[in-house]
Amino acid sequence: MLTEIDGFIHYLENVKEASKNTVLSYRRDLEQMAEYMEKQGITDLARVTRTSLNSYFLYLESQGKAASTISRITASVKAFFHYQVKEEKLRKDPSELLKAPRVEKKAPAILTVEEVERFLNQPKGENPKELRDKAMLELLYATGIRVSELIGLQMGDLNLQVGYITCRDGQKERAVPFGKAAKHALKNYLDQARSFLVQGEDSSWLFTNCKGMPMSRQGFWKIVKHYGEMAGIHTDITPHVLRHSFAVHLIRGGADLQAVSTLMGHAGIASTQMYKDYLLQETPC
């Protein structure tokens, strides 16, 4: 079954031009399903039935998997088997009647404008680390980009003079503008800090850790937590909370929903609608 999974992943990468994170998610979900099937003595794709798939999803529930996780896995499995039928590897789709569990949509955690300002003002020092942290935090809130996009930025992705960055998601790319505060923080970082962090090496990464290596997601998560605590913010602050706050603050200020969707790199406007819904819920009748 792993051969068919490899073929499907190749299709996602080269035909659908799916993002790296999407491809990794599909591969993980499908390889876990294949591992379960193998333990049941099912190694041939044609031997997977509706019953064996139902058994797998009952197993996931017994393991305490969240409804959102099972919903995502359901989508992965259905897409995989639909593709196998389309490619005539299977006559019938065993996943056709699978239904994802209902997932309750939680309102996104949002910081107030005052909380964001307090948070962004925490890196006050002039040492290389704090100048880098200031630049990263200002840029993250100014653009609403994903943390993976932030830490993946190359020097060539930054146009400081005009004021925008280029973000890449698979084969797609988008230009995202930023304002004066982020521009000022980035200039200070590039002029006074970056050369110390890269330690004289010819690094192409825009942001690095203190050893001159690429910043990790975990490393940046710790930075956000640190300054959130310093600012006295009681919300469980994460990079994604800043992304949510960026969107809500823009829409509250009158920004067009489609424009915000494009800036954030959403596949469709439906993903951005939750921010509009959030604002409608907070507005008294």
Looking at per-residue pLDDT, the higher value among 223 and 171 belongs to 223
82-114 tens-digit pLDDT: 999 999 999 999 999 888 877 666 667 899 999
Looking at per-residue pLDDT, the higher value among 170 and 206 belongs to 206
Query: Nearest-CA neighbor of 100 among 144, 65, 137, 150?
Result: 65
Token duo for residue 159: 């146009």
How far is the C-alpha of 266 from the C-alpha of 243, rounded, in Å? 12
How far is the C-alpha of 182 from the C-alpha of 128, rounded, in Å? 16
Average pLDDT, the chain: 90
Name the pTM for this structure: 0.66
Average pLDDT rounded to a whole number, residues 136-143: 96
Token duo for residue 109: 């955690």
| Residue 7, pLDDT score | 94
176-232 tens-digit pLDDT: 999 999 999 999 999 999 999 998 778 999 999 988 999 999 999 999 999 999 999
| Residue 104, pLDDT score | 62
Instruction: Identify the weakest region by mean pLDDT among 37-41, 47-51, 89-93, 100-104.
Output: 100-104
User: Would you list the DSSP string of 61-98?
Assistant: HHTT--HHHHHHHHHHHHHHHHHHHHTTS-SS-TTTT-
What domains lie within the chain, and their CATH numbers?
Answer: 2-86 (1.10.150.130), 113-282 (1.10.443.10)
Residue 247 has pLDDT above 50, yes or no: yes
| Residue 170, pLDDT score | 65
